[in-house]
């Protein structure tokens, strides 16, 4: 209970109605009780020290704020554990004797008028196995002065008149009209909604076959959707497989492209070598008469050219190898026969040097050997001429193939 709080209720005590007012003013508890019929009044003021001392004497100490809250709950009847009762002094003595264990009614003792007119407001706190009574004495104030009552009545009438002039009753009338209009609108909306509901129920009852058909259509569409999803999944897997195959083919094409580039480079190198060595066999054939060493060098060049030509044409390679082999055999036989038929020097004799005799047989054999060497050198010259012609044909063919490969690589680079 806070300062400035006022609690007022009408409570019936022992068959009589009383108006109970509890007020908190600056740490001071004020209690006023008035009889509704006789207008008799009782009033008491209690400070925190008195309340706490009272609760300590009863054996159940309560602080002042807690006691005020308990009293407020008892007046408002918001808790079943606290209640109120109004007793006279004689009733209070009877309650004390009963608690003390005195049996029977005590003797009546003379009481002063002030004590007999006093009332005691009892705050009853009920716990599980006990009831605690907190008595609050309220001195008698008497009946109110008629003049005071007249003044209070006039003040209340003036306040009522002031409120009437402010138009509070008009405002309340306007609010009432507004609420009635809103109520009418709500009723109209309710009727419209009820009619719409009836209409929908009738339409739903009449269109049951149509709804069944719609359900079947929805079911068929769902089945088609599932089929399409399965079909799309299969097509997607097929496309992924095709994509993997295409990627593999692309890798193979790239590898073949790299191989073709290497092949083009090697062919270009071979072509350059062949172009550099094209005229060398012819010149070697023409100068073959100068000596056997030059013939052997030309034959070695011819063999190197023959190795290069093997990559271009297998037929020309075999033909050139046969010619080279035959030429080498002829030269080898000529060299061996020449070494055997050459004129040997006369070995020195112990008798002294003599002039050699003329041998006609050796002279004839020597002349025949020289003729054979001349014929063999001429054959080598003609064979080198044929080889140069075949090499030119091979070079032209290699040029054509190289040009075709370069065109193909250019098409691959441009993407056509």
pLDDT tens string 180-225: 889 999 989 888 888 888 888 777 665 556 667 788 888 889 999 9
Residue 105 has pLDDT above 60, yes or no: no
Nearest C-alpha neighbor of 91 from the set 82, 99, 83: 99
Residue 9's φ and ψ, nearest 5 degrees, are -150, 160
Kindly indicate the confidence band of residue 415, based on its pLDDT and cuts at 50, 70 and 90.
low
Mean pLDDT of 70-99: 88
Kindly indicate the confidence band of residue 325, based on its pLDDT and cuts at 50, 70 and 90.
low
Residue for token pair 């680079």: 413
Could you tell me the CA-to-CA distances from 239 to 153, 225, 236, 249 in Å, in that order? 101, 21, 5, 15
Contacts of 69 (CB under 8 A, 6+ apart): 1
Beta bridge mates, 83: 124
State the DSSP code for 408: H
Q: Per the domain annotation, does 415 fall within a domain?
A: no
Residue 348 has pLDDT above 60, yes or no: no
On whether the CB atoms of residues 271 and 308 are closer than 8 A, the answer is: no
Q: Per the domain annotation, does 91 fall within a domain?
A: yes
Mean pLDDT of 133-149: 86
On whether the CB atoms of residues 282 and 367 are closer than 8 A, the answer is: no
Q: Per the domain annotation, does 405 fall within a domain?
A: no
Report the share of the chain in percent with pLDDT over 90.
28
Mean pLDDT rounded to a whole number for the chain: 76
Residue 53 has pLDDT above 90, yes or no: yes
Kindly indicate the confidence band of residue 50, based on its pLDDT and cuts at 50, 70 and 90.
very high
Helix (H) or strand (E) holding 330: helix 314-341
The angle that helices 146-166 and 168-206 make with each other, rounded to 10 degrees, is 50
Q: Per the domain annotation, does 33 fall within a domain?
A: yes
Q: What is the pLDDT at residue 288?
A: 43
Q: Rounded distance, CA 47 to CA 39, Å?
A: 26
Q: What is the pLDDT at residue 205?
A: 62
Q: Per the domain annotation, does 19 fall within a domain?
A: yes
Q: CB count, 10 Å around CB of 358? A: 7
Mean pLDDT of 376-403: 62
Q: What is the pLDDT at residue 59?
A: 87
Mean pLDDT of 337-343: 42
Q: What is the pLDDT at residue 339?
A: 43
Q: Per the domain annotation, does 135 fall within a domain?
A: yes
Per the model's pLDDT, the better-predicted residue between 354 and 375 turns out to be: 375
Q: Rounded distance, CA 241 to CA 114, Å?
A: 115
Order the strands of the 131-138 sheet from edge to edge.
Answer: 82-88, 119-126, 131-138
Kindly indicate the confidence band of residue 335, based on its pLDDT and cuts at 50, 70 and 90.
very low
Nearest C-alpha neighbor of 18 from the set 6, 32, 36: 36
Q: What is the pLDDT at residue 260?
A: 92
Residue 337 has pLDDT above 50, yes or no: no
Residue 129 has pLDDT above 50, yes or no: yes
Mean pLDDT of 352-368: 69
Order the strands of the 41-46 sheet from edge to edge.
Answer: 6-13, 16-24, 29-35, 41-46, 140-142
Q: What is the pLDDT at residue 312?
A: 39
User: Which structure tokens are listed for 45?
Assistant: 């003021």
Q: What is the pLDDT at residue 176?
A: 83
Count of domains forming the chain: 1
Residue 382 has pLDDT above 70, yes or no: no
Could you tell me the CA-to-CA distances from 268 to 275, 301, 311, 313, 369 in Å, in that order? 10, 19, 12, 16, 46
Residue 392 has pLDDT above 70, yes or no: no
Q: Per the domain annotation, does 117 fall within a domain?
A: yes
Q: What is the pLDDT at residue 5?
A: 85
Kindly indicate the confidence band of residue 92, based on its pLDDT and cuts at 50, 70 and 90.
confident
Q: Rounded distance, CA 287 to CA 380, Å?
A: 11
Residue 166 has pLDDT above 60, yes or no: yes
Mean pLDDT of 160-186: 77
Identify the CATH number of the domain in which residue 38 sits. 2.170.210.10
Kindly indicate the confidence band of residue 161, based on its pLDDT and cuts at 50, 70 and 90.
confident
Predicted confidence (pLDDT) per residue in 278-319, tens digit: 655 544 444 444 444 443 444 444 444 444 343 434 444 454
Q: Per the domain annotation, does 239 fall within a domain?
A: no
> Which of these ranges, 3-17, 301-315, 316-330, has the smallest mean pLDDT?
301-315
User: What range does the domain containing 60 cover?
Assistant: 5-101+112-144
């Amino acid at each position: 209970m806070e300062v400035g709080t006022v609690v007022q209720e009408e409570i019936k005590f022992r068959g009589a109605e009383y108006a109970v007012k509890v007020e908190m003013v600056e740490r001071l508890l004020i209690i006023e009780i008035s009889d509704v019929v006789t207008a008799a009044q009782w009033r008491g003021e209690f400070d925190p020290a008195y309340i706490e001392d009272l609760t300590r004497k009863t054996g159940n100490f309560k602080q002042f704020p807690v006691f005020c809250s308990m009293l407020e709950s008892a007046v408002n009847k918001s808790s079943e554990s606290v209640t109120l009762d109004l007793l006279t002094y004689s009733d209070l003595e009877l309650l004390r004797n009963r608690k003390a264990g005195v049996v029977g009614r005590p003797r009546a003792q003379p009481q002063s008028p002030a004590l007999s007119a006093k009332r005691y407001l009892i705050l009853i706190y009920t716990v599980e196995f006990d009831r605690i009574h907190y008595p609050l004495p309220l001195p008698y104030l008497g009946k109110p002065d008629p003049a005071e009552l007249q003044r209070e009545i006039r003040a209340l009438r003036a306040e009522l008149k002031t409120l009437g002039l402010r138009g509070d009753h008009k405002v309340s009338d306007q609010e009432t009209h507004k609420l009635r209009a809103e109520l009418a609108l709500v009723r109209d909306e309710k009727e419209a909604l009820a009619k719409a509901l009836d209409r929908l129920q009738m339409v739903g009852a009449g269109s049951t076959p149509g709804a069944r058909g719609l359900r079947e259509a929805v079911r068929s569409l769902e089945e088609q959707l599932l089929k399409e999803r399965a079909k799309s999944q299969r097509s997607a897997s097929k496309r992924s497989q095709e994509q993997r195959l295409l990627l593999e083919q692309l890798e193979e094409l790239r590898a073949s492209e790299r191989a073709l580039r290497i092949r083009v480079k090697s062919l270009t190198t071979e072509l350059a070598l062949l172009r550099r060595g094209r005229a060398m066999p012819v010149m070697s054939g023409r100068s073959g008469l100068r000596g056997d060493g030059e013939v052997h060098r030309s034959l070695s060049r011819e063999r190197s050219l023959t190795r290069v030509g093997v990559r271009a044409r297998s037929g020309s390679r075999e033909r050139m190898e046969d010619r080279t082999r035959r030429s080498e055999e002829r030269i080898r036989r000529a060299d061996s026969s020449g070494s055997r038929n050459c004129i040997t020097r006369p070995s020195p004799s112990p008798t002294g040097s003599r002039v050699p005799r003329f041998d006609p047989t050796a002279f004839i054999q020597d002349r025949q050997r020289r003729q054979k060497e001349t014929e063999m050198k001429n054959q080598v010259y003609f064979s080198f001429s044929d080889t140069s012609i075949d090499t030119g044909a091979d070079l032209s063919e290699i040029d054509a193939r190289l040009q075709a490969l370069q065109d193909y690589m250019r098409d691959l680079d441009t993407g056509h």
